[in-house]
Amino acid sequence: MYYFLGPLIKKVKIEDEHIDWLLTDAETMRLEKMNSAAEKLAGHIDEEIYNSAYAHNYIIENLGHYFTAYFEKMHSIDSNLVSDGGEQNSHNINNLSKVPADQLRNWVLDLLWTNFMKAGEFNPPHHHSGHISFVLYLSIPDEYQQELDNHKALSPPPGNILFLVNDKQMTFTPEPGAMYIFPSSLEHMVFPFRSDGERVSMSGNVFLKLN
Query: Cα separations (Å) of 29 from 35, 63, 64, 105?
Result: 7, 20, 22, 29
pTM: 0.89
Tell me the pLDDT of the chain averaged across its residues. Answer: 85
Kindly write down the DSSP assignment for every residue of 133-184, as one continuous string: EEEEEEE--TTHHHHHHH--SSSPPTT-EEEEETTEEEEE---TTEEEEEET
Q: Reply yes or no on whether the pLDDT at 25 is more than 70.
A: yes
List the chain domain ranges. 2-13+66-114+126-134+146-193
Q: Quick: pLDDT tens for 151-176.
A: 887 777 788 899 998 888 899 999 99
Confidence band for 180, pLDDT divided at 50, 70 and 90:
very high
Cβ contacts of 62 within 8 Å, gap of 6 or more = 18
Q: Quick: pLDDT tens for 82-98.
A: 555 555 444 456 566 67
Instruction: Name the CA dihedral angle for 113, 119, 124, 128, rounded to a multiple of 10 degrees.
Output: 10
For residues 123 and 43, is the Cβ–Cβ distance under 8 A?
yes
